[in-house]
Structure 1
Amino acid sequence: MFLLIILLCGLCLWQLGQACYHLWLSPLSHIPGPKWAAISLLYEFYYEVICSGQYTREIENMHRIYGPIVRVNPYEVHIKDPDFCIEHFSPVKKLDKYGWWYRVFGGPWSTISTEDHHVHKTRRGTFQNFLAPRMVRGFVPTIVEKLKGASAIMDRHVRTGNVLNLSNVYRCMAADVVSAYVLPTSLNLLESDDLGEEFQSSLRFFFETATSMRYLGFMEPIITIIPSIIFNAMLTQPAKALIRLVRKLEACVDDVIQKGPDMDKSGLCLLERINNNEHEKDEMFRERLLQEAEQFIVAGSETTGHTLAVTTFYILQYKNVQEKLLQELINADIVFDGNLEITKLQALPYLSAVITEGLRFSHGVGSRLPRINKSSEVQYKQWRIPAGVPISMTSRLHHEDARLFPEPYKFSPDRWLQADSKNLKKYLSPFGHGSRICPGMHLAIYEINIAIAYIFTHYTVINFDTTEADLVSKHDLGAPFPKQDSKGLQVTLRARVTE
């Protein structure tokens, strides 16, 4: 008993010493912010884990109180200054990722989680060209094919008059598109009996678990020694669904590796391209391919599906927006087949403005993006930030900044048709900034353009009691998620009669 008291007293003294260091002796002690955040990660843990992805909102509140720079935990600084972030996150800057923050999203071997700038550049180089606009344009027929699969589902609801959860359709289509690009075979969720409900529950479980394990990583060794019979009994249905998804991806990776390099590069998926271009394969190569597959499919499904649902919702909320968009699309006379000219579609000014505004509202990445400059200190106004300190920004805080976007909560495509809109676009960052910008950006943009144009030219879409609360981000868990009991974008459909 006496020994236990000594240990507890020692732990308390150690924690007190840590608190004193972070408050008064740390190189970040001069950065403003709440004292509780400076002392311990428990402050962030409360908002991120207990409150499920609410720290972004708390950081926004910190900026209201303390100004444009705040200390969000003992080791990291957050800056809300769009012009500074554009300069600091410039593609020419050789910034590293903050390993503690990113390691949970796909593992340390995936490109998205690679910490070192130079290693990331090498890994990204094995597939960079495959995701360039020219290459993605060749994938447009597959996007149209998946959209026709979604259209078959919508046609059934036209005939029956039943309410359709369009959010589910969008996420299934997004998953089918990105998996067809990444894997030898698509996931084909549009053909699933549950319309991807299991897949979507597994994605949310993944993001929630990943967020928790960032702070509870010390529990991983404990989990590994739990007997499998007990561990399996503890698993929830979303957890089981996630395991089934991983097993499916493992089978695809093994198939790619066993097939070996293919000299005929036509028709290769992304994993096959990496397998062809990776010359120095070590014992972790299989794990890297698996993590790349997980990264692309998780990111490319949730964010694109969310953007499509949010954009559609706001088009339906504003009758004048819907009328102007439909008229432009009718006049353009786009033919949605394998010969669809994506450049012609993207050249439509009002469609482009609608989608740009949809990207601003949906935000892309929901949480903050920390980067580290290891080579030199960073000077922000009167604050000096030592080299090696993570500095983060959050796209949503810029997208909702009234100084940049007057009436930021009004869906206004016209703001992107003004004389200065080109300059305004530099503050839009749904795909991130700099050399770490989302590699699947062009695939997502093409898909969003095609889907929105197709749906509003082929159907009269009617909102069925869906509110903003069912779609706007409530939980920022890497990807933005609505409230837990959201029913998604519920609509009824009528076939649009074209003259």
Structure 2
Amino acid sequence: MENWQLDSVTRGQLWTTVAIIGALSWAGYAISLAIYRLYFSPMAKFPGPKLAAMTQWYEAYFDLIHKGGGQFVFEIKRMHGPIVRINPFEIHISDPDFYDILYATGKLYDKLPSLSNRYDMALAGFATADADLHRLRRNALNPFFSMSKIRSHNALIQDIVDRISARLSAEYAGKSDKILKVREMWGCMMADVITELAFARRKNFVDQSENMHAWFTEAISGMLVWTHWMTHFRFLIGVMNSVPGWVVKRASRHLGAVWEYREEIESQIRDILSGTNQQAKSASHETIFHELLSSDLPKEEISFDRLHHEALTIVGAGDHATKWALTIATFYILENESVHRRLKKELTEAIPGPDEIPPWVELEKLPYLSAVITEALRLSYGGVQRMPRINRHEQWLYKQWTIPAGVPVGMDNYHQHTDENIFPQANEFKPERWLGNPKVEVEVDGPDGKLTTVLKPLSSYMTAFGKGTRMCIGINLAYAEIYIGLATLFRRHEFELFETDRSDVTFVRDLFSAHPAPSSKADNLQKVACWRM
């Protein structure tokens, strides 16, 4: 008995000793790592908060906890000089003139893997970190989204917008008690355009959804809430993907419908790969899958999983940013009477018959409409989270700083579009700033190393679609949708804002793209009343 008690005490002391040694070892490792990151890392020379340099939990706090999360982009702005170390591994630069260097056309820079694949779509071009592989995948898709190809689909886009217009006339015109949820109206348009264009399978939300409520795009946008969680806790991707489809369908009608659409796409891909896709034979155009299959991609790049990842990414990427830009445009046009009046005048003069909307190529020539659209894109930002690039082979030089090869360097559209030196009164909606091909005076390093003043086009600082080899592949489609959508509805209809103000469209949360406060009426959907002219 005494031996048993002694053995028990010995075992207890042993476990206590092991726990103490483990704790001390962990503490020693953490302290050593912190000292290394602060004083011996190749990035130790760069300015920035010490806590941010020591641990990524600093970033995680602002992404997940502070004010409900999505706040790190604002913390970056607070901590900024022209260059700052924002975490143990990454540099951020706030200098509008460096944007064209970091995101240079023709340069093959890698993306940061941790910010590339957050929805388990690693085989999609958008999620591809390696620059060479990305170029291969991107080149195969470029023809499908080229300007000439999108212009050939003008009638398809116009037809969908005409259907929206017809519903407005039938269900909302002259009915002051009927409230339209504009953000979801644009969501219906986005969903119908991208599903018809990419897959030849229009979902008909414009015609069939109750009150033009696009639950499909609402569910896709709702998934963005998980963006930062899946960035910092990668295992959540596997957890979410392990949930059976029948559970998803029972848990949420909206997410269940998205899951069903995912299954439709999977079925379509299998039929196309097996040669049994009968629906494609009667389609007015080829799908994105046929574009990829007819390209020069190697066999492994046209597998089922590859096509599946690309398809789902295209649907997601083609939704929120354009829908939000249209919502921003609609709000500010209606909020500012002078903007509204000037736009209506231009549209009325350019389009005498409201039922005869010119094609996108002609609408682009309208200066004030173009200015309104550009300003809406500026204040909708596109993607607001930083977009780090990795130069594997060469160091970057920024002013007096030498950035080692392999160090991720990022910038973001929020900093770019709110720089007061480029955009005075940056938070104000001022379409006039874009009229007359305006120039900006900027100081750059001259050949002799001294600062010299040059004039640069203001348009060169518009980065809503990114720049360089990884800029948004859907830029032409987005512009076509925005031009045709705004020109058609504001030429044919009159609108009034209903219980909506600037706080409802102000960017306060970074969920990869710009989001308003959770309590805003824009998140519960912007409301307007409308009637046909």
TM-score, length-scaled by structure 2: 0.86
* CA displacement at 1:14 relative to structure 2: 1.7
Aligned to 1:181: 197
Aligned to 1:325: 343
Q: 1:153 to 1:408 in 2, by over 3 A?
A: same
Q: Is 2:118 the partner of 1:104?
A: yes
Matches within 5 A, 1:425-436: 425-436=459-470
Aligned to 1:31: 46
Aligned to 2:442: none
Q: 1:92 to 1:459 in 2, by over 3 A?
A: same
Q: Is 2:209 the partner of 1:192?
A: yes
Matches within 5 A, 1:375-414: 375-414=393-432
> 1:246 aligned to 220, 240, 262, which one?
262
Aligned to 2:3: none
Matches within 5 A, 1:93-172: 93-105=107-119, 107-155=121-169, 156-161=171-176, 162-172=178-188
Separation in 2, partners of 1:481, 1:396: 12
Q: Which amino acid aligns with 2:361?
A: T
Q: 1:340 to 1:275 in 2, by over 3 A?
A: farther
* CA displacement at 1:240 relative to structure 2: 4.2
Q: 1:31 to 1:116 in 2, by over 3 A?
A: same
Separation in 2, partners of 1:412, 1:221: 45
Q: 1:113 to 1:212 in 2, by over 3 A?
A: same
Separation in 2, partners of 1:328, 1:383: 49
* CA displacement at 1:479 relative to structure 2: 1.7
Q: Is 2:485 the partner of 1:451?
A: yes
> 2:29 aligned to 14, 21, 25, which one?
14
* CA displacement at 1:100 relative to structure 2: 1.1
Q: 1:495 to 1:34 in 2, by over 3 A?
A: same
Separation in 2, partners of 1:19, 1:5: 21
Q: 1:239 to 1:39 in 2, by over 3 A?
A: farther
Aligned to 1:203: 220
Aligned to 2:234: 217
Q: Secondary structure at the match of 2:23?
A: helix
Q: Which amino acid aligns with 1:148?
A: D
Q: Is the 8 A contact 1:362 1:472 kept in 2?
A: no
Aligned to 1:462: 496
* CA displacement at 1:407 relative to structure 2: 1.1
Deviating more after overlay: 241-250 vs 474-483:
241-250
Q: Secondary structure at the match of 1:113?
A: coil
* CA displacement at 1:281 relative to structure 2: 2.4
What are structure 2's unaligned runs of at least 5 residues?
Answer: 1-14, 440-455
Aligned to 2:90: 76
Aligned to 2:75: 58
Separation in 2, partners of 1:351, 1:154: 22
Matches within 5 A, 1:471-482: 471-482=505-516
- 1:102-136 deviation per Cα after TM superposition (whole angstroms, max 9, x unaligned): 11156221011111212111111112122111110
Q: Is the 8 A contact 2:205 2:214 kept in 1?
A: no
Counting matched residue pairs gives 492
Q: 1:278 to 1:290 in 2, by over 3 A?
A: farther
Aligned to 1:491: 528
Q: Secondary structure at the match of 2:231?
A: helix
Q: Is the 8 A contact 2:245 2:259 kept in 1?
A: no
Separation in 1, partners of 2:245, 2:468: 46
> 2:103 aligned to 55, 70, 89, which one?
89
* CA displacement at 1:462 relative to structure 2: 0.3
Q: Secondary structure at the match of 1:112?
A: coil
Q: Secondary structure at the match of 1:134?
A: helix
* CA displacement at 1:341 relative to structure 2: 2.4
> 1:312 aligned to 330, 333, 336, which one?
330
Separation in 1, partners of 2:29, 2:239: 24
Q: Secondary structure at the match of 1:376?
A: coil
Q: Is the 8 A contact 2:495 2:531 kept in 1?
A: yes
Q: 1:218 to 1:409 in 2, by over 3 A?
A: same
Q: Secondary structure at the match of 1:282?
A: helix
Aligned to 2:10: none
Q: Is the 8 A contact 1:202 1:238 kept in 2?
A: yes
* CA displacement at 1:338 relative to structure 2: 9.1
Q: Secondary structure at the match of 1:160?
A: coil
Larger radius of gyration: 2
Give the root-mean-square deviation of aligned CA atoms. 2.7
TM-score, length-scaled by structure 1: 0.92
What are structure 1's unaligned runs of at least 5 residues?
Answer: none
